[in-house]
Amino acid sequence: MNKPVKNETFLKACRKEPVSYTPVWIMRQAGRYMKEYQAIRAKVDFLTLCKTPELATQATLLPVDLLEVDAAILFSDILIPVEAMGMEVVFTEHKGPLFPKPIRGEDDIKGLWVPAVEEKTAFVFEAIRMLRKELSQRIPLIGFSGAPYTLATYMIEGETSRNFNSIKKWMYRSPALLHQLLEKVTKTVIAYVNAQVESGAEAIQIFDTWAGALAGDEYETFSFPYTRQVIDQIRKTGVPAILYINGGGLLLDDMVATGADVISLDWRSDIRKVREKIGERVALQGNLDPCVLYADAKTIRTRVKGILEKYGKGSGHIFNLGHGILPDTPFENAKEMIRAVHEESVIYHK
Ligand code: CP3
């Protein structure tokens, strides 16, 4: 494998340009499965880590140095801009993020700001600028945002929800209000991704993690139009847009219609069939089940080869997990996955 001075394999694959091997990165690649990450977290809480550019930079670089991934992703969280809109967010050890005062009605929506993100979340853009300096001769930097719909689920549910009954209640009882909220969130997200690109992000991934719980009609009404606005903006800046939905396998045509350059698949989809269906129009990212990384090295390699074989020959594939890496994943297994992708993919690019 001959790596050029700056390894742009990831960006080339996003644009479906020829590459010499399949690039790979891991969602949540800087995380608790790494003892080096835990060492940083032992000193500061998660939000402080996100808000201190030197530390966020350090965390972002851990997997770059230790795993040899082909892209770095800014260390932050999708809920940072929601906090900047005026909502208090707490990250708890066991339940994940919590909003003590979720949005309950029109007054709460009116009370939200569309913040001047350059000031309110200046630490994000500072981290991006620092990272671009650190990474200049190495690999590209991915920025990200939650999609408006997924951010609204947190704002209304107040936490990671199982059934999404609160936001769905709004869909059926007060859809106009939900649109009001989504519009405000969309304005914030557009400014946020724009400022990330201006600061140096070279691709943007939009996480619409929870949209997979929507029926097609509801997806088209409450998520699609807002995601499309965000993706339009990203594409205007000229960087590739990647769209991820957990459970998005039934929404593929809509996902393509958002204008995204890359569709990020969860582990349930058969990437061969997805390529047949939409692979002419977009690049594909994914899609190993994160739990495969509990297996032994031989099994991990076999499953990596299976996905590479299913995607088949040619560019337009970025290898990744189908969702974030789990905190109890053995580090060595993540490393084996990266190694296997790099070694086993060369034959598909000859
Ligand atoms: O991929 C990366 O390495 C970049 C960093 C990143 C984090 N969160 C760091 C994080 C990214 C891209 C996210 C996105 C995110 N955050 C999503 C969308 C992606 C997905 O997983 O579906 C969502 C839904 C969130 C909200 C969120 N943040 C949850 C549900 C949790 C708790 C779950 C968990 O793993 O603890 C978080 C916290 C969080 N975000 C952690 C990290 C590394 C763990 C915090 C800690 O160190 O204690």
Report how far ligand 1's centroid is from the alpha carbon of 75 (Å): 9
Q: Whose CA is nearest to atom 47 of ligand 1?
A: 46
pLDDT in tens, 6-44: 999 999 999 999 999 999 999 999 999 999 999 999 999
Q: Is 91 in the pocket of ligand 1 (CB under 6 A)?
A: yes
Enzyme catalytic residues: 28, 32, 41, 77, 154
Q: What is the pLDDT of residues 233-269, one digit of tens each?
A: 999 999 999 999 999 999 999 999 999 999 999 999 9
Q: Which atom of ligand 1 is nearest to the CA of 49?
A: 47
- pLDDT greater than 60 at residue 335: yes
Taking the complete model, does pTM exceed 0.95, yes or no? yes
Confidence of residue 1 (pLDDT cuts 50, 70, 90): low
pLDDT score for 93: 85
What is the 325 CA–ligand 1 centroid distance (Å)?
A: 10
Using the 8-state DSSP alphabet, how is residue 24 labeled? B
Task: Find out whether the beta carbon of 77 lies less than 6 Å from any atom of ligand 1.
Answer: yes
Q: Is the CB of 334 under 6 A from ligand 1?
A: no
User: Measured from the CB, is residue 144 less than 6 Å from ligand 1?
Assistant: yes
44 CB within 6 A, ligand 1: no
In terms of Cα–Cα distance, which of 301, 274, 261 is closest to 13? Answer: 261
pLDDT digits (tens, 9 = 90+) for 275-297: 999 999 999 999 999 999 999 99
The pLDDT value given to residue 192: 98
* 81: nearest Cα among 231, 4, 193, 161: 193
Query: Is residue 97 in contact with ligand 1, taking CB distance under 6 Å?
Result: yes
Q: Which residue carries 């590479």 as its tokens?
A: 308
Model pLDDT, residue 152: 98
Best residue for ligand 1 mutational test, from 36, 67, 78, 93 (most atoms within 8 Å of Cβ)? 78
Mutate to test the pocket of ligand 1, among 37, 77, 82, 208 (most ligand atoms within 8 A of CB): 77
* Ligand 1 neighbourhood includes 154 CB (under 6 angstroms): no
Instruction: Dump pLDDT digits (tens) for 191-218.
Output: 999 999 999 999 999 999 999 999 999 9
pLDDT at 136: 87
The residue contributing the CA closest to ligand 1 atom 18 is: 207
DSSP-H helix ranges across the chain: 9-14, 35-41, 46-51, 53-67, 80-84, 106-110, 117-120, 122-135, 148-157, 165-173, 175-199, 216-218, 224-237, 252-257, 271-278, 297-311, 331-344
User: Tokens 């499965």 — which residue?
Assistant: 33
Percent of the chain topping pLDDT 70: 99
Return d(Cα 79, Cα 75) in angstroms, integer: 12
* Rounded distance from Cα 285 to ligand 1 centre (Å): 19
- pLDDT greater than 80 at residue 5: no
137 confidence band (pLDDT: 50, 70, 90):
confident
Q: Is the CB of 248 under 6 A from ligand 1?
A: no
| Cα 151 to averaged position of ligand 1 atoms, centre (Å) | 13
- Angle between helices 148-157 and 175-199 in degrees, nearest 10: 120
What confidence tens digit (pLDDT) does each residue in 57-68 have?
A: 999 999 999 999
- The string of pLDDT tens digits covering residues 75-122 is 999 999 999 999 999 999 888 999 999 999 999 999 999 999 999 999
In angstroms, what is the span from residue 28 Cα to ligand 1's centroid? 7
* Separation of CA 97 and ligand 1 centre (Å): 9
The pLDDT assigned to 114 comes to 98
pLDDT(123) > 60: yes
